Structure 1
Amino acid sequence: MSDRELYCDSCEGVVLFETPFCGDGHGADCPELVCTGCGAAMLVAMIAFRPARRRAPRPSHRHAA
Structure 2
Amino acid sequence: MSDRELYCDSCEGVVPFEAPPCVDGHGADCPELVCTGCGAAVLIATFAFPAPRVDHRRGTTRRPHRRAA
**TM-score when normalising by structure 2:** 0.73
Superposition deviation, residue 50 in structure 1: 1.4
Letter in 1 for 2:11: C
Q: List alignment gaps of at least 5 residues for structure 1.
A: 61-65
In structure 2, distance between residues paired with 1:30 and 1:16: 15
How many residues align structurally? 58
Letter in 2 for 1:17: F
**Aligned residues: CA RMSD:** 1.9
Identity, % of aligned pairs?
75
The superposition leaves residues 25-53 of structure 1 with CA deviations (integer Å, 9 ceiling, x where unpaired) of 10000000000000000000110111454
Q: Which runs of 4+ in 1 moved over 2 A?
A: 51-54
**TM-score when normalising by structure 1:** 0.77
Matches within 5 A, 1:1-65: 1-51=1-51, 53=53
